[in-house]
Structure 1
């Protein structure tokens, strides 16, 4: 609900660990550069020095020289924040859930109501014979509450590599793990072939969770397929 704003003096905002530019902290956008930073809790003002036309960036690296790949990343990072201007005003928090950026009880209540509505949209019909740990995991996944690397990063937990370990191509999110990964797609392909079902084409996890309802099965058969998918998802996650 809150986000830092560094369009002030940058003396309080953490350059690497606070969210002040882009959609996530720089330590997650540029993990290799962050690892090479000597003063990891440095303020934005420690790295951004105002000049006449743009901000000059100063660094304090623990290792030098960089590899060619890291040098290219540093160049992109520098380009992305070169136009940031600091002022003499104090840093402040802004409330992203409020139109004017200020905190209010009403904006908090609206956020909680919207979040509660999203939870109710994911009400799940349980399958009795599925083990409890599989059922609970599946229910959490429907609400995007499982600890994927993408979700851990949102909670300011440092992850060296945000990509999914099976494919290494994209960030590990609930949707990618169970519907976007090429390895997972092969699992669903073989599952459908074994169960004599039509192919499972999923764009997100919800498509996987609702697959059983579009296979022209009776209620008992739907329950079996849904239960097997729940167990399969648990196995994919534990693999």
Structure 2
């Protein structure tokens, strides 16, 4: 393990740290970070909705980046899982996208939700981020769009809870 020797001085108007004979300043760190950032990359923005419980919104925020513990994600994190097939439909590997949009059960739920809200049917080819963005752009007034977004988040949470009941409480 490397040892860190700190030496504070007022050189160039800031503090300097000496790490194995390399000097770092806040200014140099900022410049290095600026060189490594791709400013043209699309930002990963997520629209939070205060009409939904924060645990549901946080879940969807994590699901957008495939960070929920689906079987495929767990296997990719190093767990020894020989079978990562969806326990609900058995048609494909269980990823966040599959559980929440692509699974036959999820498709039926989204068809019913779309009918109930009188919105276009959710396209299972879209990723979760694009699907939520599409729902926020439905031709309705701002309050109705927020309501549709809240229903979508709650639906995604309910699909996850349903999956968990199927997997853990057989």
State the TM-score bracket (shorter-chain normalisation). Answer: 0.5 to 0.7
- Between the aligned partners of 2:47 and 2:130, the Cα distance in structure 1 is 15
Match of 2:130 in 1: 207
Over 3 Å counting, the alpha-carbon distance change for 1:172 and 1:122 in structure 2 is: same
Among 87, 91, 98, the alignment partner of 1:165 is 87
Asked whether 1:196 is paired with 2:121, we answer no
- In the TM superposition, what are the counterparts of 1:66-77 in structure 2 within 5 Å? none
Count of paired positions: 127
Relative to total residues, which structure has the larger helix share, 1 or 2? 2
Cα deviation code 1:105-153 (max 9, x no counterpart): xxxx8xx857xx98x7322121112001101101111122111111111
SS at match of 1:121: coil
Task: Output the TM-score relative to the length of structure 1.
Answer: 0.49
- Between the aligned partners of 1:136 and 1:198, the Cα distance in structure 2 is 25
1:160, distance to aligned residue in structure 2 (A): 3.7
Match of 1:127 in 2: 49
Match of 2:153 in 1: 230
Unaligned residue ranges in structure 1 (runs of 5+): 1-108
Task: Output the TM-score relative to the length of structure 2.
Answer: 0.67
RMSD over aligned Cα atoms: 2.3
Over 3 Å counting, the alpha-carbon distance change for 1:145 and 1:163 in structure 2 is: same
The list of structure 1 runs, each at least 4 consecutive aligned residues, that deviate by more than 4 angstroms after superposition, is none
- Contact conserved, 1:146 with 1:174, CA < 8 A, in 2? yes
Unaligned residue ranges in structure 2 (runs of 5+): 1-32, 163-170
